[in-house]
Structure 1
Amino acid sequence: MAATASAEQWRTARTALADQTDRFVGLVRATDPATMCTAHWSVVDTLAHVASLAWYYACLVDREHPPLPVPGLSEQLPGVTVDTVADFNDVLLRHLPERDPGPLLDRLQADVKRLLVVCEGRRPDETVPWLGGARVPLAGLCAHLVNELLIHGHDVARAAGRPWPIPGRDAALFLELFLVGVTRHGYGRLIDGGAPPSERPILVEFRSAYAAPVRFRLQYGRVSVVEPDAEPDARPDARIDHDPATLNLMMFGRVSRARAVLSGKVRISGRRPWLLPAFLRKFRTPS
């Protein structure tokens, strides 16, 4: 199996996690915690969600870390899919009743620090169990948490009327390290459902200014990564040239597909671009 992350990518992911944690903490400190930033979550609810993920990830890399106070958590995790992750998040929040921003911010910073300290001496391709029976490499775990900070920072900033620029290099880590990593190492039942199995393959290529091109194939209901040196002459059915921040906001339902395309920040081409919707019905994220 090809390496999921180089030493440089591994450093970039950890640096991005430290930087975006600091940005998110500063934004939340400057915002009224009662402000609603989604239909159901206030700023402090959003903070509690992000803090719960950092706590969970610290537990994944450090078995001695105090566990989340959620009864039967380990039994619930294998059954979670992208379509039920919202319900899982609700379960976490019900068992984490703290809504004072101070302790939650302290918790978030301490758990991110612990995660980074432990990862310092570990390989980026070392995997840990994740939702839906997936296996996520440590580089992908850090990249996923970076994306959570960026997406939810966007929610908080929009509600507060504050700027929240999303660095393209940091945003690119979600596709480059998390989605590629979890696909290579096994996504379990994480994206069960979606498009019905088909014998006809769909080859989709993602390109940005911040990362090497990435190709995925959907066939027989399974998504796989097409390694860089494999099938060099194969033409993608669909090619997505994108600004990583816009792509991520689109994938998580913060920007509509129409708006992303009309802005020119997500451009679709290829020999059979009409196959892309079928691919995206399978290769999807919670929105």
Structure 2
Amino acid sequence: MVAKDCDGALAEACAALREVVPSLVALVRSVPDAGSTAIGTWTVGDTAAHLSHAFRFDTDAAAGRPIPEATVTTAGMAKLNAQLLAEDAERDPALLADRIRALAREFDGVVSRAATVDWLQGVRLPPSAVACHLLEECLVHGHDIARATGRPWPIRRAHALLAIEGAAFPLIGALPPTAFVNQQKAASFRGRFDLRLRGGGRTSMVFDRGSLTLEAGCAGDADAHICADPVALMLVFIGRQGIERPLLGGKLAAWGRRPWKLARMLSAISPP
């Protein structure tokens, strides 16, 4: 599948990266203890190293250089990430901050010259989707590091919207429909959800017994309608926060014929 790009989408994504990366570099450099726990089994140092691997990976892909092989599922990417972390012993925050800064500059220089990017599993992506993927990595793992170290990490709505509509949606469309779904939990699940992102567009998410596909616009026969702040939705989808706080705080609202299916959907979705 070949996705089309436009100069405006890429320019917006690169501008967002230029805004976020300096804050990310400063955050990593300020880490007092690289061995403290960040997320799951990863330390803060592991998380910063992983961020540098993401920049290296997407920069090489944008430049047309060889990239590692992996299956884009939760398990497949976990295996690749573990391998890359095992092969890279660097965990010093200052050195990793310098590495991320240098790789971000390299990415900014090569991505504008790419027409399309050959990514994992033979997927071809527009350069803007690759830039938005890196932005999503920065936002999410910056959040992990900040939470672990007690530092602020504000995420702009426009940036979260780029991460969802500019990276997650194109990847869901380009990869096999099973890539973003927990096969065990979604084997018998069927549901259609009308997702409205505040400040963004409207998309139908269709779950069908282990697969997830997207359709543009409104689903008239939706089981539930969801109106969500992009930052809250991004953090919920990737498991960084539960659904209760966004619901109570007005960041997320759900209604429709079968709104209870939202809980099942959240257990079924599994971003790589």
TM-score by length of structure 2 reads 0.85
- Aligned residue pairs: how many? 269
- Correspondent of 2:131 among 117, 132, 142: 142
Q: 1:19 corresponds to which residue?
A: 19
Amino acid across the alignment from 2:197: S
Amino acid at match of 1:190: A
Counterpart position of 1:196: 187
Match for residue 32 of structure 1? 32
TM-score normalised according to structure 1 size: 0.81
Tell whether the 8 Å contact from 1:136 to 1:178 is kept in structure 2 after alignment.
Answer: no
Matched, 1:236 2:237: no
Aligned residue among 103, 115, 128 for 2:118? 128
Deviates more, 1:247-256 or 1:51-60: 247-256
Query: Partners of 2:176 and 2:82 in 1: how far apart?
Result: 22
Cα RMSD of the aligned pairs, angstroms, is 2.8
Partners of 2:164 and 2:153 in 1: how far apart?
20
Report matched runs for 1:185-224 at 5 Å: 185-187=174-176, 190-191=179-180, 193=183, 194-196=185-187, 202-219=191-208, 221-224=210-213
Which amino acid is the alignment partner of residue 244 of structure 1?
Answer: P
Gaps of at least 5 residues in structure 1 are none
- Residue type of the partner of 1:53? A
Partner of residue 268 from structure 1, selected from 231, 254, 258? 254
Q: Which blocks of at least 5 consecutive residues in structure 2 are unaligned?
A: none
Structure-1 residue corresponding to 2:101 = 109
Residues of 2 paired with 1:187 and 1:107: CA distance? Answer: 33
> Contact 1:147–1:171 (CA<8 Å) still a contact in 2?
yes
In structure 2, what is the Cα distance between the partners aligned to 1:101 and 1:158?
16
Asked if 1:285 corresponds to 2:271, the answer is: yes
Q: For residues 34 and 175 of structure 2, what CA distance do their matches in structure 1 show?
A: 39
CA–CA distance in 2 between the matches of 1:233 and 1:247? 19
Letter in 2 for 1:10: L
Q: Secondary structure at the match of 1:226?
A: strand
Is the aligned partner of 1:60 residue 2:61? Answer: yes
